[in-house]
């Protein structure tokens, strides 16, 4: 495994929830990253944010690591979950709640319900 893949692997395995994104959770730099970070922030999920714009090696490395061409990318307990569209669908269907429940990730259930209410 290359150095960058090793670094990414260690990061996703050492943290319960990791979001590789453009920008930071406080200041996303693209709409897709903003949407996923917004969902996680609103739901009160503790997560590690990795700004791919700060490191070109990470920006390409994460795409190679997951074999997924776009950013953002969400990882839960070391497993790749998906990008913006998948996270949006999972949030609206309740699948993201189930994933968090199954993996012992704390989140605000009321906030998750409010997201679904606002989008129904």
Model confidence over 14-24: pLDDT tens digits? 999 999 999 99
Strand order in 73-76's β-sheet? 48-51, 17-21, 73-76, 79-82
Structural domain including 56 reads: 3-118
pTM of the model: 0.96
CA triplet 49, 69, 116: central angle to 5 degrees? 60
Model confidence over 31-74: pLDDT tens digits? 999 999 999 999 999 999 999 999 999 999 999 999 999 999 99
Number of domains observed in the structure of the chain:
1
Segment holding 74, helix H or strand E: strand 73-76
Tell whether residue 84 is among the known ligand binding residues. no
CATH number of the structural domain spanning residue 109:
3.40.30.10
- Supply φ then ψ for residue 33, to 5 degrees: -65, -40
């Amino acid at each position: 495994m290359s150095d960058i893949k090793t670094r990414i692997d260690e990061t996703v395995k050492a943290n319960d929830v990791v979001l590789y994104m453009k920008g930071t959770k406080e200041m996303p730099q693209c709409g897709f990253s903003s949407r996923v970070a917004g969902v996680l922030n609103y739901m009160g999920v503790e997560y590690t944010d990795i700004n791919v714009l700060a490191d070109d090696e990470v920006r390409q490395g994460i795409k190679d690591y997951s074999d997924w061409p776009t950013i953002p990318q969400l990882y839960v307990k070391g497993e790749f979950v998906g990008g913006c569209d998948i996270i949006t669908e999972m949030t609206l269907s309740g699948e993201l709640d189930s994933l968090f429940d199954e993996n012992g990730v704390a989140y605000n259930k009321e906030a998750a319900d409010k997201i679904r209410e606002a989008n129904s």
